[in-house]
Amino acid sequence: MLKIYGVYRSRATRILWLAEELGLSFELVAVIQAYRLADPMADGAPMNTRSPEFLAVNPMGSIPTIDDDGLILNESLAQTLYIAKKQGGPLAPADLSEEAKMLQWSLFAATSIETEALKISMAVNEGRLDSEAGQAEAKAVAHILSRPFGVLEQHFATHDYAVGDRFTVADINLGEIVRYAQAYQPLFDAHPKTAAWLSRIQSRPAFKAMWETRVKEG
């Protein structure tokens, strides 16, 4: 059975959402981010991203990792693309050109959006987005993101989804990265088609089910 190492409050949401969409069974092996523990190396500390046991599986010490019958993958976007293709069906690429576009959107999100968008997510987690400094930081991030968001806006002006005019794994990969910036509303007010796409994909029952479990996890 597919093993997913991680917790819901992490990039594992990409795989967990996909698994919900596909109705896949999996075993979730709880591995928490070391930075969330006071002493990750203490006796009795839960398995975390610095635990030798986990480093033996993923030497980078990051979550999520998957183990699919012995195939270990340590990069979340490679994991979703692999699982979607393995399972087939509408979420997977129908041909080589769709696969190339799915790869392109995923890499675009990871390289042109994720680092900046995460700054907004961190500001929320640290409770400072609404402060004057937090708003100034978010405004600067939004300025940098206006270029890739401009690309998204142009695409979603004429398409409901990232690839093939249907919901696919590319929407999960892109959507879960764009979500990191979601708390800064002015960015989405300036890009209404992108906002509409995000809300379209987040209204899917599988996203809601994944999110409900994530909220319960705390």
Residues near ligand GSH (CB under 6 A) are 10-11, 33-35, 49, 61-63, 75-77
| SS percent in the chain: helix, strand, coil, step 5 | 60, 10, 35
* 99, 169 contact by CB (below 8 A): no
Is residue 198 within 8 A of residue 129, CB to CB? The reply is: no
Cβ proximity to ligand GSH: between 35 and 43 the closer is: 35
Alpha carbon 177 to its chain centroid, in Å, reads: 5
CA distance readout (Å), 104 to 99, 170, 173, 212: 9, 9, 11, 30
**Residue 97 vs 111, nearer CB to ligand GSH:** 111
**Smallest gap from residue 201 Cβ to ligand GSH (A):** 19
At residue 12, φ and ψ (nearest 5 deg) are: -60, -20
State both tokens at 190. 């300036």
Separation CA 216–CA 218 (nearest Å): 5
Name which of 148 and 195 has its Cβ closer to ligand GSH.
148
5: alpha, beta or left, given left = phi > 0 and alpha = psi -120 to 50? beta
At closest approach, how far in Å is the CB of 158 from ligand GSH?
Answer: 29
If the CB atoms of residues 35 and 95 are measured against ligand GSH, the closer one turns out to be 35
Helix/strand/coil for 6? strand
Alpha helix (H) residue ranges in 88-131: 96-108, 114-125
Q: Considering the complex, what minimum distance in angstroms separates the CB of residue 160 from ligand GSH?
A: 26
Q: Which is nearer to ligand GSH, 77 or 172 (CB)?
A: 77
Least distance from ligand GSH to the Cβ atom of residue 72, Å: 13
Q: What is the DSSP letter of 111?
A: I
Report in angstroms how near the CB of residue 35 gets to ligand GSH at its nearest. Answer: 6
Pick the closer one to ligand GSH by CB: 94 or 118: 118
Minimum Å gap between C-beta 77 and ligand GSH is 6
